[in-house]
Amino acid sequence: MSEIADFLRARYAEVRAAAEAAAERAGTGDWRYRSGSDHVAAVQTFPNDVSARRELWTPLVTEAGSYIGDTIDDEIGNHIAAQDPDVILADLDAKLAIVELMDRTLAQPFAWHADHKGEEWAP
């Protein structure tokens, strides 16, 4: 196991811990954003409801300092919703699977980190 792979695993473990904490705090449901909305929500779907496919939208993130009726910019709302912990965890699993093959390249986004070895780890 290389030093770079160890470094990447440590950074991914930090991201995983944050995603798992967010998932625990938010509860179940996919993170979604509706264009023009004032929040990002965790959405639980109840497909067994015979009368209709019901969804429960639980607000997670609202624009700081907003008033009722204010909206989040679509770009920001979509980005926040894309940070759904399930998506982040799946992304981490995929990255860990290829760390050994491309560890130097994957370490570059963390060049700012104190444990990064700079030029020694350059691709």
**Residues 74-92, buried b or exposed e (16+ Cβ, 10 A)?**
eeebeebbeebbeebeeeb
Q: In the prediction, which pLDDT does 65 show?
A: 46
The yes-or-no verdict on residue 8 having pLDDT over 80 is: yes
Looking at the chain, the whole-number percentage of residues with pLDDT higher than 90 is 5
pLDDT tens for residues 59-68? Answer: 666 655 444 4
**Domain chopping of the chain, boundaries:** 3-121
Q: What is the pLDDT of residues 59-117, one digit of tens each?
A: 666 655 444 445 566 766 777 777 788 888 889 999 888 887 777 888 889 999 999 98
pTM over 0.75: no
Question: In terms of Cα–Cα distance, which of 2, 60, 3, 6 is closest to 31?
Answer: 60
* Per-residue pLDDT tens digits for 30-65: 777 777 777 777 777 766 665 555 666 666 666 554
